[in-house]
Structure 1
Amino acid sequence: MSLELETDVPLRAFNTFGIEATARRLVRVRSARDVRLVVDHPEWGRSPKFILGGGSNVLFTRDIDDAVVVKTEIRGLRVLEDDARSTLIEVGAGEPWHDVVIWALEQGFAGLENLALIPGTAGAAPVQNIGAYGLELSDRLESVDVVDLVTGRSATLPAAHCRLGYRDSIFKRELAGKSVITAIRLRLPKPWAPVAGYADVARWLQREQISDPSPHDVFKAVCAIRTSKLPDPAQLGNAGSFFKNPVVNRTIRNEILEEHPDIVSYPLDDGTYKLAAAWMIAACGWKGQTLGRAGVHEQQPLVLVNRGGATGANVLELARAVQDSVEQKFGLRLEPEPVIL
């Protein structure tokens, strides 16, 4: 069996920003064996690799002609363990993440519902340590299967070895471009308890007069909230939240509070504070604004959008303008979430 290398592949359909770009070489992998075939290929096995999943966390500012684009399309969903304490499921890296959440609920396995409607694939979930509405993937991740892009060897990394942090992991750092995630395993705890303390979720449940929510209730709440605040990439190109919320120590937070007493902040378990980047962007007057064909979303300032025909350079120019404004006003430079190429 051999792999078919595609050349001069348009990437617009492979990134949720809808940015025009071209991959000079692209290969689709549908199994761990396919990845090993990529590594062993005599012509392009040693070339640099760019791993592409659902394209929901990438901004293309140029064509990809200096690396082989490895498009992960590994599918599969199965239950490995199910007992009174937990359920362990295995997910192929190419499975759309939201489909995984729906599948788990349909099987009667709760614990992922707060992460509904997050775009992208399962393989990208640990890279970014996706999180929303009081839950992060790190709360559920058991292990990750990877294939080394130099040796072709397979390995299983326990979650503790993945160095998961706030929108961060070993896959964005030491292992960036050096390995391909082929599958992940998620452990869903029993008995299930709702994660419903997040303000928006709590308000939605209260409005619906639901005092004892089921997993489906939390799922509906999250979907309703995300739909009301975040644009559908199929309708308006975007990569979700473009900036991370800054995390600062108490001293910096108090200094900012002195000048901006209305700033939204959240205390974290380690004594630091997460500041609401969306609030800061709005305070700088960017909410709903447009620069060229790129814009800041009207409902959620964390989201930069392609208003039609924007280039990656247009979006990057807007992002830098927003960063400059926030840094000038608050003394903090926002860090982008997406990979920028």
Structure 2
Amino acid sequence: MTQIQQNIPLRQYNTLGIDTVARYFAAFSSVNELSELIENNPNTGIAPLILGGGSNILFKNHMNGLVLKNDIPGLNIVKEDADHVYVKAGAGEVWHKFVQYCLQQNWAGVENLSLIPGCVGASPMQNIGAYGVEIKEVFEELEAFHVNDKTVQVFRAADCAFGYRESVFKGKYRNQFVILNVTYRLNKKPTFNTSYGAIGQELERMGVQDLSIQAVSQAVINIRTSKLPDPAKIGNAGSFFKNPSVDAAFYEQLKKAYPHLVGYPNADGTVKLAAGWLIEQSGWKGYRRGDAGVHEKQALVLVNYGNATGQDIYDLSEDVMKSVHSKFGVELEREVNVV
């Protein structure tokens, strides 16, 4: 059985580089190991915290409960038809490694999601998305372990209640399930999505003549690396805030007051705003307070310059949110999970 360790530093397990400690810690690579670890949880009063890549989490405090690192591996084709390939990926697989695997096989659907940090297990939990694509568009099903019942359940797309960076695993079933694997439905014939953000401009700059999923992926990688800091060099969790949506009438009011405001229409009639632009216009871009700061190139990203505590980052995020609301009347919401 995998041994449960005590008083383990978690700095290397979260991309913000917060120096916190887990009272109990273990890693698991199978559902049997997971079941045993939960059965032997030394602190049954606190639900275990499941860690993947640690790229979307903010530790405000030390963790008194059991922290479990999901290392379940595997990339396997489970079925195939004329138009699609269905690939089951272990929840512990690195997301970008999975994307690269698909690109090598010429399977389309996840190229716009290149270089997103984290692991496969977080992809449906967050309904990760970037550059006009969300995971729900290629999601087939997942298997998840029920912490209390010790059973494995299958979730289809409708069961997951996917929303903008949301699913039942962040809300209704929070802390109740551990995602074991995810099956994706990938396309043999690509449908290119290059209209969002600067992808078209980047492809042009790259001199791409014949569009391919590999070219789209490289364009996304180029854009992300030019705007977002590398967690290996400076602690961050990528986009710290969600892009907020407002009703159309309020958007028109804001647009009159701020002509450079950009909005993207949602299917429900609301308009999505760029949180980074709102934060930058509120004067926060490049701001630093001790070792906590707002990134100099992308105001959507909060950074740890070395020794910021989780509370330092959280307090800064609170001030940013209050400032944006005061200036624009728009409520920001954190994308990262605060624990």
Aligned 8 A contact 2:291 2:305 in 1: yes
Aligned partners of 2:175 and 2:87: how far apart in 1?
26
* SS in structure 1 of the partner of residue 141 of structure 2: strand
Partner in structure 1 of residue 264 of structure 2: 266
Q: CA deviation at 1:122?
A: 0.3
Aligned partners of 1:306 and 1:203: how far apart in 2?
31
Aligned partners of 1:285 and 1:258: how far apart in 2?
20
What value does the CA root-mean-square deviation take over the aligned residues? 1.3
Percent identity, aligned pairs only, is: 42
* SS in structure 1 of the partner of residue 76 of structure 2: strand
Partner in structure 2 of residue 148 of structure 1: 146
Partner in structure 1 of residue 38 of structure 2: 39
Q: Kindly indicate whether residue 236 of structure 2 is the aligned counterpart of residue 233 of structure 1.
A: no
Q: CA deviation at 1:87?
A: 0.6
Partner in structure 2 of residue 30 of structure 1: 29
> Equivalent residues in 2 for 1:161-240 (5 A)?
161-240=159-238
Aligned partners of 2:282 and 2:141: how far apart in 1?
41
> With structure 2 as the length reference, what TM-score do the two structures score?
0.97
Partner in structure 2 of residue 63 of structure 1: 62
Shift in CA distance, 47/318, structure 1 to aligned 2, threshold 3 Å: closer
Query: What amino acid sits opposite 1:49 in the alignment?
Result: P
> With structure 1 as the length reference, what TM-score do the two structures score?
0.96
Higher mean alpha-carbon deviation, 233-242 vs 247-256, is at 247-256
* SS in structure 1 of the partner of residue 185 of structure 2: strand
Aligned partners of 1:168 and 1:54: how far apart in 2?
18
Query: What amino acid sits opposite 1:88 in the alignment?
Result: Y
Partner in structure 2 of residue 121 of structure 1: 119
Partner in structure 2 of residue 282 of structure 1: 280
> Equivalent residues in 2 for 1:98-113 (5 A)?
98-113=96-111
In structure 1, list runs of 5 or more residues that go unmatched.
none
Aligned partners of 2:40 and 2:237: how far apart in 1?
33
Q: CA deviation at 1:44?
A: 4.6
Partner in structure 1 of residue 3 of structure 2: 4
In structure 2, list runs of 5 or more residues that go unmatched.
none
Aligned partners of 1:42 and 1:93: how far apart in 2?
21
Q: CA deviation at 1:174?
A: 1.2
Deviations 1:149-173 (A, max 9, x none): 0011001100221011101110101
> Equivalent residues in 2 for 1:298-317 (5 A)?
298-317=296-315
Query: What amino acid sits opposite 1:267 in the alignment?
Result: P
Query: What amino acid sits opposite 1:35 in the alignment?
Result: L
* SS in structure 2 of the partner of residue 225 of structure 1: helix
Partner in structure 1 of residue 51 of structure 2: 52
Query: What amino acid sits opposite 1:271 in the alignment?
Result: G
Count of paired positions: 339
Partner in structure 2 of residue 132 of structure 1: 130
Q: CA deviation at 1:41?
A: 2.7
Q: CA deviation at 1:147?
A: 0.3
Aligned 8 A contact 1:145 1:182 in 2: yes
* SS in structure 2 of the partner of residue 233 of structure 1: coil
* SS in structure 1 of the partner of residue 216 of structure 2: helix
Q: CA deviation at 1:81?
A: 1.7
Aligned 8 A contact 1:50 1:69 in 2: yes
Aligned 8 A contact 2:106 2:213 in 1: no
Q: CA deviation at 1:321?
A: 1.1
Aligned partners of 1:217 and 1:27: how far apart in 2?
39
* SS in structure 1 of the partner of residue 63 of structure 2: coil
Deviations 1:308-336 (A, max 9, x none): 11111111111111111101001112100
Query: What amino acid sits opposite 1:41 in the alignment?
Result: N
Deviations 1:39-89 (A, max 9, x none): 333755664211111100001111001x21121110110111223210100
Query: What amino acid sits opposite 2:60 in the alignment?
Result: T
Aligned partners of 2:59 and 2:10: how far apart in 1?
9
Deviations 1:184-205 (A, max 9, x none): 0000123212111113001111
Aligned partners of 2:277 and 2:209: how far apart in 1?
30
Q: CA deviation at 1:235?
A: 0.6
* SS in structure 2 of the partner of residue 62 of structure 1: coil
Aligned 8 A contact 1:46 1:150 in 2: no
Deviations 1:272-327 (A, max 9, x none): 11011111101011111111211111111000001111111111111111111101
Aligned 8 A contact 1:51 1:72 in 2: yes
Aligned partners of 2:169 and 2:41: how far apart in 1?
26
